[in-house]
Structure formats: structure tokens, C-alpha cells
Amino acid sequence: MENSALFKLVLSDRAKQELLQAYNWYEDQQFGLGDRFRATALDRINKILQNPELFSTKHGLFREVRVAVFPYVIVYKINKKKKRIVITSVFHTSLNPAKKYK
């Protein structure tokens, strides 16, 4: 198991955009729901940082963790050589799964 304190967290532009879109959509549905989504997603990101290899690989080097209660998965890769955890997507599970790893 790697010491995650040595790893830098990087959110891709795509992941940032998807987080913001999901937050805005949930907040438009019900005041405070966007905040709940964000807190839940951040909790999962913290779990990744605490133990990057906890979640299994799903496609090549990509790993996934579900965002509890919400229909999203956080897709990430560990780059041990560069000491980075790269979140590539915050993917809505109803979308075409072929686009998850692009």
C-alpha cells in the first residue's frame, strides 16, 4: 500500500466540469441538495486520498468508486512514478459507459 500523503491530487478539467454541472443540477432540483452531493463526492475523494489502492481497477489503469446515494462514479488513475492521483471523470452512471474512460 502506498503512502497517500506523498501523492498529489489532480482533477482533470473534465472532472471539474462534471462536478460543477452535477452540483448545479442538484441545487436546481432542491436547495441544499447540491451541497449534499458535493460533500458526498468530497468524502469519496478523501477516501481515495487515504488509500488510493482501496478501490479495484475497472478498465486498464482506471479505478472507480461510487458516490453514495447519487448515480455517479469517480474515475481515477494512480501514477506512482509521478506521485499523482488523477481524477479523470465524475461520471453519471446513466450515460454511455464507453465514454467513461475517454
Q: Model-level pTM? A: 0.90
Domain ranges across the chain: 4-94
Q: What's the mean pLDDT when you consider all of the chain?
A: 92
- Tens of pLDDT, residue by residue over 15-63, are 999 999 999 999 999 999 999 999 999 999 999 998 999 998 988 899 9
Whole-number pLDDT of residue 1 = 45
Whole-number pLDDT of residue 46 = 93
Whole-number pLDDT of residue 5 = 61
Query: In this structure, which topology does domain 4-94 adopt according to CATH?
Result: YaeB-like fold (3.30.2310)
Give the integer Cα–Cα distance in Å for 48 and 97: 21
- Mean pLDDT calculated for residue range 6-12: 92
